Structure 1
Amino acid sequence: MANLLEKENFDHQAVVPCPYQADCSGCQSLGVPYGAQIELKKEQLKQLFRASNLLSSSPIQALSAGPGFLRDRLDFSLEDGRLGLYHKGKREIVDIATCCQLSPELSAWLTEFREFQWPFKKGSIRLRVGPQGQKGVWLDFANVDIKALLDEKTLLRRLQDKAFVEIGQRRKVPFWNGQEYKLRAPELHVWFQTWMGSRPVDLYCQVASFTQPSLRANKVICDVINAWIASFPRSRIIEFGSGIGNLTLPTLAAAESVLACEIDELSLDGLRMTLDHLPSDLQHLKSKIEIHRGDFQKKLTEDFSQFDGVLANPPRSGLMNFLNPLGELSLEKRPPFFIYMSCFPESMVKDLERLQEFGYELRETFIVDQFPQTNHYEVLGLLQRKQS
């Protein structure tokens, strides 16, 4: 992994300015040199490991795509005409016109979007820019406000001239039928991108879909996954929390086969469309993947002994009952390696404790700092089964 570390070097002395530092609750480390932020996050993770008696054969390392200006996905609240994040000391929204977290493309889209005047008291808004610069917006308003927006017509028409629009919890798409605005079923488009080595691969999803927040930072994550999977060539992998396939595609490049497990049907629709739209020279990969839908945190019926490795990217609650079948196998029948990715280290550490009890050793740990200037970070861990 040495080349990866050298490539993703960062400016330890960088300090990112923000005009909202005194009020906005979004960032907790503004004004702190970036290198000090990284060291603090490494120390926090070390303390979690020590408290759980987790042992690692190598020190925690950090990777970064930069100290700011990374995000291609923005989630703001709308309240009484103010669009932004909550105030540090008051229960009100700080109106934010510019943000040091946003990529230049998303920053420009926010500037355009703020020209719109919304007649509603409150709601949630997601802005997104895709890998080709395409603009999207998800409007999550109360039903009465959605109806008013459809009936008013003009505001929605202006917005659709600038971006692809999704509305409501069901992520429906507004369309003009010649007489009035109606809502049709959700649509899948290319809103994100993964990497197979140095090759980008488009991912189909919705503006409202869960993705990593940054295209640039996601490349760092995919580089780690690519390197780890390549070190166990032609492995049979079971993946928990495949989502739209962000880690699935890098894994497919080197694996013998992948069983992708996911509970969210809309995410799996995106993964299926991504597989259908793979470039012609990658179409053969479709024969290497099987997709299962179900709540695998509650019950898993798969036999872990049929796999050489596990790839897990669970929700904040962790793996829960997904790990239970491991305890039913003897050490030599458990998969030789386990890759774990999480943005919630507290639940990850609990799962790593169980994996340690099942005979796995933590071999490498990376913090991928895709949330600079905040207390949050992504963790990637590679575990290997002890020799029986």
Structure 2
Amino acid sequence: MQSTPNPLNQLLECPYQQTCSGCQYLHMPYGEQLNQKQGELAQIFARKDLQHPPIEILSAGAGHLRDRLDFSLQGGRLGLYGKGTHDIVDLETCAQLSPALQEWLTEFRRFEWPVEKGSIRLRVGPDGQKGVWLDFANVDIKKILDEQTILRGLLEVAFVEIGQRRKVPVWTGSEFKLKDPELNVWFETWMGETPVDLYCHVASFTQPSLEANKIIASQITKWISQFTQSRVIEFGSGIGNLTLPALASASSVLACEIDALSLEGLEKTLERLPASLKDQVGKLQIHRGDFQKKILNDFTEFDGILANPPRSGLMGFLDPLEKLNLQDRPKFFIYMSCFPESMAADLVKLKNFGYEMKECVIVDQFPQSTHFEVLSLLQRK
């Protein structure tokens, strides 16, 4: 009987390994990659004198996970930057892409663009729907609208968004016009065992992988369920990817977000929740505005904080904690980040505020690369 190969010993094959900069660990068996990331995170914590529990690693696989990826277009080449150069490597295949996204890339490459330089996001949704975001200069956008042929062909196979404002091209009978952004189901989160469609734009920020995101959602729900009837405040809810898993096990959630388009997506998601989850909507409140500068006088009305901040970290969001007595601070803090350096700086502040790390998990949603997602559960001493 033939034995099943151990995925930890797996080496992915890629014809662009020597030239493309997208993957840094293709030469390394997958198990060694995970050990490398685990060791790197431990070193980052050690440099900040942060004590931590054993670092757990969760993975959805050694490759082929991404359901969205941003490609660069340069002189007819569509791909990623080469190693040590500003030139684009023209990619026909990619070890990062899910089978559905690889199929979409192959189909998309038949289009020839009269554009010298630009950025293109390809995405597939939970049901395999295909989307593309064309982020070009205004002069190139006009050129494509006037040319018409490319857009006609593209709209036959995919949903199209154009420019920083995520406009949607519509044929009027004689020309293309750009209309306002349109919300569709481009991602998916989980409330317990129930999948939830997330309404957003092709250009919206989401996690890169549907499969890996299920692991993240499950971890959030699991941690919050440890604190019975908890009242949670979330920093940067976005389209609700972590909000809804938190809502599944919290007594209430206050979701704070500054981006209006993301909140429009979250509100539509709430309107379209499955019937079995409709009773959860009343547990959620939304705060619109720049919560980093001012939101509350303190955090005393919450039992837990959930944060997935940008690269810059939490910044002034933590300041109100300093003014509270230890027993008045929220009991727990869940921190998620793909920027471990800024995360570690924030964890030092939380340590000084009386929090200690109880669990730490790496979700490897960027296999074959140096990047990784970190989730940490901290509790008030």
Distance change in 2, residues 1:116/1:222 (3 Å): same
Contact 2:20 2:82 in 1 (8 A): yes
Q: 1:198 Cα deviation (Å)?
A: 1.6
Contact 2:298 2:324 in 1 (8 A): no
TM-score, scaled to structure 1? 0.96
Q: 1:302 Cα deviation (Å)?
A: 4.7
Superposed CA offset, 1:98-132 (max 9, x none): 00100000000000000001111010000000000
Alpha-carbon distance in structure 1 between the residues aligned to 2:341 and 2:133: 30
Alpha-carbon distance in structure 2 between the residues aligned to 1:246 and 1:233: 22
Alignment of 1:35-74 (within 5 A): 35-56=31-52, 58-74=53-69
Counterpart of 2:181 in structure 1: which amino acid?
P
Contact 1:137 1:165 in 2 (8 A): yes
Alignment of 1:106-255 (within 5 A): 106-255=101-250
Which deviates more, 286-295 or 183-192? Answer: 286-295
Counterpart of 2:13 in structure 1: which amino acid?
P
Contact 1:336 1:384 in 2 (8 A): yes
Alignment root-mean-square deviation, CA: 0.9
- Moved >3 Å (runs of 4+): none
Alpha-carbon distance in structure 2 between the residues aligned to 1:174 and 1:265: 21
| 1:323 is the counterpart of 2:318 | yes
Alpha-carbon distance in structure 1 between the residues aligned to 2:126 and 2:203: 16
Q: 1:90 Cα deviation (Å)?
A: 2.3
Q: 1:84 Cα deviation (Å)?
A: 0.3
Q: 1:262 Cα deviation (Å)?
A: 0.9
Q: 1:268 Cα deviation (Å)?
A: 0.7
* Residue aligned with 2:306, SS: strand
Alpha-carbon distance in structure 2 between the residues aligned to 1:91 and 1:255: 47
Q: Match of 1:23?
A: 19
Q: Match of 1:7?
A: none
Superposed CA offset, 1:119-171 (max 9, x none): 11010000000000000000011101111111111110100001000000000
Gapped regions of structure 2 (runs ≥ 5)? 1-5
Q: 1:178 Cα deviation (Å)?
A: 1.6
Contact 2:70 2:122 in 1 (8 A): yes
Gapped regions of structure 1 (runs ≥ 5)? 1-9
Q: 1:191 Cα deviation (Å)?
A: 0.2
Alpha-carbon distance in structure 2 between the residues aligned to 1:264 and 1:96: 33
| 1:349 is the counterpart of 2:344 | yes
State which of 354, 359, 378 in structure 1 corresponds to 2:373. Answer: 378
Q: 1:297 Cα deviation (Å)?
A: 2.6
Alpha-carbon distance in structure 2 between the residues aligned to 1:263 and 1:37: 36
Q: 1:258 Cα deviation (Å)?
A: 0.4
Alpha-carbon distance in structure 1 between the residues aligned to 2:331 and 2:370: 33
Contact 1:150 1:181 in 2 (8 A): yes
Q: 1:93 Cα deviation (Å)?
A: 0.4
| 1:293 is the counterpart of 2:282 | no
TM-score, scaled to structure 2? 0.97
Contact 2:232 2:303 in 1 (8 A): yes
Contact 1:304 1:326 in 2 (8 A): yes
Q: 1:14 Cα deviation (Å)?
A: 1.1
Which deviates more, 298-307 or 362-371? Answer: 298-307
Alpha-carbon distance in structure 2 between the residues aligned to 1:385 and 1:13: 40
Counterpart of 2:11 in structure 1: which amino acid?
V
Alpha-carbon distance in structure 2 between the residues aligned to 1:85 and 1:298: 37
Q: 1:179 Cα deviation (Å)?
A: 1.8
Contact 1:336 1:385 in 2 (8 A): yes
Alpha-carbon distance in structure 2 between the residues aligned to 1:62 and 1:344: 16
* Residue aligned with 2:311, SS: coil
Q: Match of 2:3?
A: none
Alpha-carbon distance in structure 1 between the residues aligned to 2:132 and 2:176: 17
Alpha-carbon distance in structure 1 between the residues aligned to 2:380 and 2:361: 19
Contact 1:300 1:321 in 2 (8 A): no
Q: Match of 2:89?
A: 94
Q: 1:299 Cα deviation (Å)?
A: 3.1
Counterpart of 1:88 in structure 2: which amino acid?
K
Sequence identity, in percent? 66
| 1:337 is the counterpart of 2:335 | no
* Residue aligned with 2:9, SS: coil
Alpha-carbon distance in structure 2 between the residues aligned to 1:302 and 1:17: 54
Q: Match of 2:305?
A: 310
Alpha-carbon distance in structure 2 between the residues aligned to 1:89 and 1:237: 45
Alpha-carbon distance in structure 2 between the residues aligned to 1:274 and 1:104: 27
Which deviates more, 202-211 or 276-285? Answer: 276-285
Q: Match of 1:6?
A: none
